[in-house]
Amino acid sequence: MTVVGYLVNAISLGALYALIAVSVGLVFGVLRQINLAQGEVITFGAYSLWLMRTLPTWLAIVLCFGVCIAASLLLQVAVFRPLRGASPLTTLIATFGVSYGLEALWLIVFGPSGNTVSMLTNLNLTVVGGTVALRWITLVEIGAAAVLLSGLLYLLFRSSLGMRMRATAEDLRAARLVGVRIGRVVTWAFVLSGASAAVVAVLATVQTPLVTPTFGLNLIIFALVGVVLGGLDHLGRATAGGFIVGFVNSLLGSVLPEQQLVYVTSLTFLFVVIVLMVRPAGLLAPRGANVERV
Amino acid sequence: MSEGADDRHLLVCQEVTVAFAGLRALNAVSLTLDRAEIVGLIGPNGAGKTTLVNAMSGFAQIDHGSIQLAGTEISALPPERRAQLGLARTFQHGRLFGDLSARENVELGAVAVGCSAREARRRTHALLEEIGLLALAASPASELSHGDQQRVSVARAVVAEPAVLLLDEPAAGLPAESLGDLSSLVQHARSARGTGIVVIDHNVEFVLGLSDRVVVLDHGEVLTEGSPAHVRNHAGVAAAYFGTIGTDEPGALRVPAP
């Protein structure tokens, strides 16, 4: 039972990081630009849940989606659009700056000590007691990720929008010449990215009710590491990479003795460094893949 | 609209000039295309054939001149707007979306210009059947043979039922026996919907056999234009070819030296 508990918890954290990886990967797919400020969309969503704590839970969640999608679109209009055609490095640094600035903003507006969102607290009750506590939120996380990822798969591979998105991701100029309206495709990528961030904001807030200015940053760092691990230029592999990092991280936390838990992060990163030394294009990239694209 | 006389033409390029880093790839080139007409564009390597197609499709910006599609000036429009106005093109190396299946590549050509999903599926099915690729419809385009990729690429352009179709080296690398299929696909687009077609190919015999009219480019300028027979017997055309690429070019003009 203990082993099953460890595994389920690891799958759950993996699922959460997979969702963040998707939200970064969707935008990267069509624009070839990394959005480092995506963590702030999650933080904003989490704070919005705190601001709406007096509203009925369902309404707060719906509005949180609205907030995250709006924030994502705002980033598109205010940062990505003016930098169209700039080098990926420029956008990377610009979004890093935006992220840094927003963190300062959260600090000024909400203070450093954090705000507790007591929402859906029942989900933190244990399903099964014993040596490894298994909480309902763990199962909800896995379920939500499964639903969202299958929905996304359906959208990408069965809908006309998905076809246009995949074509754009592969060859933007050819897609334009075929007649694909790139602007719309990019906007949809930001909408979906914002919606994924909202799912993460809700799940992470239920699991860790204390929302601090670095709430999203702590999540996005691990997810980004996962994205690089899996292979940035392929949404499926990036998502799987996010999952692996969450899975390994959680498993390490479970098996290490308590006094060595501080090493979990270092060991996770060590794992990633070793993987990238052996497979520079990413753990899941096909052999001989072009490293330059990552 | 600059001149009323051009209204009867489907596509009018007037004095189109394109320069790359000061070098004139096209120098005041004019070309017209009518409904249901096939115009061949030939000339030695570097003559500006692909540049002209790029300028028409929006892949390259023009520095001077005008390009009108059914009386509308399109030279300042982005490529996707031109596609939606009825201008479709293919690329020298197919340039299919390798991760998409053959069927999706063709379907995309229709949905991108505003076709409903159902209508796109119907047209795609019919086209894939016509080119004998139904069995491979689900394969990723990257796994198709070169010849099949070329045909899917033409189908992706034809499926949009464009007013103007620009074919950039559709026969490149195709075995001689499949040139007939390609010709009939192109002819069918012309006869069924009155599509005006511009075709570039290294295989001069293929272009002369397909075209109603041929425009010869050399050093970014129009050397001559006229019927295939006129071009075949034009001394300057042979000189342009022999002077730059030699006689070993497969499919090069078989014209006695002047």
| Whole-angstrom distance, CA of residue A185 vs CA of residue A79 | 17
- Per mean pLDDT, which range of A46-55, A117-126, A218-227, B200-209 is the poorest? A117-126
Work out the percent of chain A whose per-residue pLDDT is above 90.
51
Of B95, B100, B113, the CB nearest to A163: B100
The mean pLDDT of A230-239, rounded to a whole number, is 83
Chain B residue nearest residue A178, CA to CA: B109
The encoded tokens of residue B100 equal 């998409």
State the total domains in chain A: 1
Chain B residues with CB under 8 Å of A182 CB are 80
Chain B residues with CB under 8 Å of A177 CB are 57-59, 79-80, 83, 89, 91
Chain A residues with CB under 8 Å of B112 CB are 164, 175, 178-181
Fold of B4-96+164-245: Rossmann fold (3.40.50)
Q: Is B23 helix (H, G, I), strand (E, B) or coil?
A: strand
Interface test with A, best of B90, B96, B97 (most A CBs within 10 A): B97
A35 is a domain residue = yes
| Whole-angstrom distance, CA of residue B238 vs CA of residue B43 | 10
Q: With 80 as the cut, is the pLDDT of residue B139 above it?
A: yes
Q: Do B97 and A174 touch (CB under 8 A)?
A: yes
The verdict on A160 touching B (C-beta cutoff 8 Å) is: yes
pLDDT of residue B242: 64
The encoded tokens of residue B113 equal 């210009």
Residue at A28: amino acid letter: F
Contact A72, A24 (CB under 8 A): no
Comparison of pLDDT for B132 and A127, the residue scoring more: B132
The encoded tokens of residue A206 equal 């239920």
Of A160, A175, A179, the CB nearest to B84: A179
**Residues in A 8-37 with any Cβ partner in B closer than 8 A:** none
Distances (CA, A) of B178 to B142, B170, B175, B255: 20, 11, 6, 25
pLDDT of residue A234: 81
The mean pLDDT of A76-103, rounded to a whole number, is 92
8-state DSSP, A262: G
The mean pLDDT of B125-154, rounded to a whole number, is 90
A242 is a domain residue = no
Question: B103: buried, middle or exposed (CB in 10 Å: 19+, 13-18, 0-12)?
Answer: buried
Contact B59, B79 (CB under 8 A): yes
pLDDT of residue B252: 46
Chain A residues with CB under 8 Å of B160 CB are 179
| Whole-angstrom distance, CA of residue B43 vs CA of residue A84 | 37
Q: With 70 as the cut, is the pLDDT of residue B64 above it?
A: yes
A142 is a domain residue = yes
Share in percent of chain B as helix, strand, coil (round to 5): 40, 25, 35
Q: What is the pLDDT of residues B83-103, one digit of tens each?
A: 999 999 998 888 899 989 999
A158 is a domain residue = yes
- In which band, very low, low, confident or very high, does the pLDDT at A131 lie, cut at 50, 70 and 90? low
pLDDT of residue B3: 45
Rg of the Cα atoms in chain A: 19
Report how far Cα A203 is from the mean position of its chain's Cα atoms: 12
- In which band, very low, low, confident or very high, does the pLDDT at B14 lie, cut at 50, 70 and 90? very high
Q: Which of B26, B56, B24, B25 is nearest to B39 (CA)?
A: B56
Contact A294, A232 (CB under 8 A): yes
The verdict on A234 touching B (C-beta cutoff 8 Å) is: no
ipTM rounded to 2 decimals? 0.80
- In which band, very low, low, confident or very high, does the pLDDT at B2 lie, cut at 50, 70 and 90? very low
- How close is the nearest chain B Cα to the Cα of A164, in Å? 7
For chains A and B, what is the number of CB pairs under 8 angstroms? 65
Distances (CA, A) of B186 to A203, B161, B168, B211: 55, 12, 13, 11
Neighbour tally for A179: CB within 10 Å:
27
- In which band, very low, low, confident or very high, does the pLDDT at A129 lie, cut at 50, 70 and 90? low
- How close is the nearest chain B Cα to the Cα of A83, in Å? 18
A16 is a domain residue = yes
Q: Which of B220, B231, B222 is nearest to B253 (CA)?
A: B231
Comparison of pLDDT for A208 and A73, the residue scoring more: A73
Q: Do B108 and A174 touch (CB under 8 A)?
A: no
Q: Is A169 helix (H, G, I), strand (E, B) or coil?
A: helix
Interior angle at CA A263, CA A262 and CA A264, nearest 5 = 95
The encoded tokens of residue A87 equal 């080098």
Chain B residue nearest residue A174, CA to CA: B95
Interface test with A, best of B91, B107, B108 (most A CBs within 10 A): B108
A240 is a domain residue = no
Work out the percent of chain B whose per-residue pLDDT is above 70.
91
The mean pLDDT of A110-130, rounded to a whole number, is 82
Q: With 90 as the cut, is the pLDDT of residue B164 above it?
A: yes
Chain A residue nearest residue B154, CA to CA: A178
Interface test with A, best of B111, B113, B123 (most A CBs within 10 A): B111
Domain interval for residue A15: 2-216
The verdict on B91 touching A (C-beta cutoff 8 Å) is: yes
A224 is a domain residue = no
Chain B residue nearest residue A234, CA to CA: B99
Q: With 80 as the cut, is the pLDDT of residue B5 above it?
A: no
Question: B140: buried, middle or exposed (CB in 10 Å: 19+, 13-18, 0-12)?
Answer: middle
Chain B residue nearest residue A164, CA to CA: B108
The mean predicted confidence, pLDDT, of chain A is 88
Pairing, β A210-211 against β A115-116 = antiparallel
Contact A213, A125 (CB under 8 A): no
Contact A14, A141 (CB under 8 A): no
Interface test with B, best of A177, A182, A185, A237 (most B CBs within 10 A): A177
Q: With 90 as the cut, is the pLDDT of residue A71 above it?
A: yes
- In which band, very low, low, confident or very high, does the pLDDT at A233 lie, cut at 50, 70 and 90? confident
A235 is a domain residue = no
Please state the φ and ψ torsions of residue B140, each to the nearest 5 degrees: -60, 140
The mean pLDDT of A115-131, rounded to a whole number, is 78
Chain A residue nearest residue B103, CA to CA: A163
Residues 6+ apart with CB under 8 A from A54: none
Q: With 50 as the cut, is the pLDDT of residue A149 above it?
A: yes
Note the maximum CA span of chain A: 61
- In which band, very low, low, confident or very high, does the pLDDT at A96 lie, cut at 50, 70 and 90? very high
The mean predicted confidence, pLDDT, of chain B is 86
The verdict on B80 touching A (C-beta cutoff 8 Å) is: yes
Q: What is the pLDDT of residues B183-226, one digit of tens each?
A: 888 888 888 889 999 999 888 889 999 999 999 999 899 999 99
Task: Count Cβ neighbours within 10 Å for each residue of B171-181 and write b for 16 or more, e otherwise.
Answer: beebeeeebeb
| Whole-angstrom distance, CA of residue A185 vs CA of residue A165 | 6
Please state the φ and ψ torsions of residue B69, each to the nearest 5 degrees: -110, 115
The verdict on B104 touching A (C-beta cutoff 8 Å) is: yes
Residues in chain A: 294
* H-run or E-run covering B214: strand B213-218
The mean pLDDT of A76-96, rounded to a whole number, is 91
The verdict on A53 touching B (C-beta cutoff 8 Å) is: no
pLDDT of residue A236: 86
The mean pLDDT of A40-47, rounded to a whole number, is 96
Q: Do A179 and B112 touch (CB under 8 A)?
A: yes
The verdict on B57 touching A (C-beta cutoff 8 Å) is: yes
The encoded tokens of residue B38 equal 């096939």
Distances (CA, A) of A199 to A16, A167, A194, B36, B139: 9, 26, 9, 54, 34
Q: With 70 as the cut, is the pLDDT of residue A12 above it?
A: yes
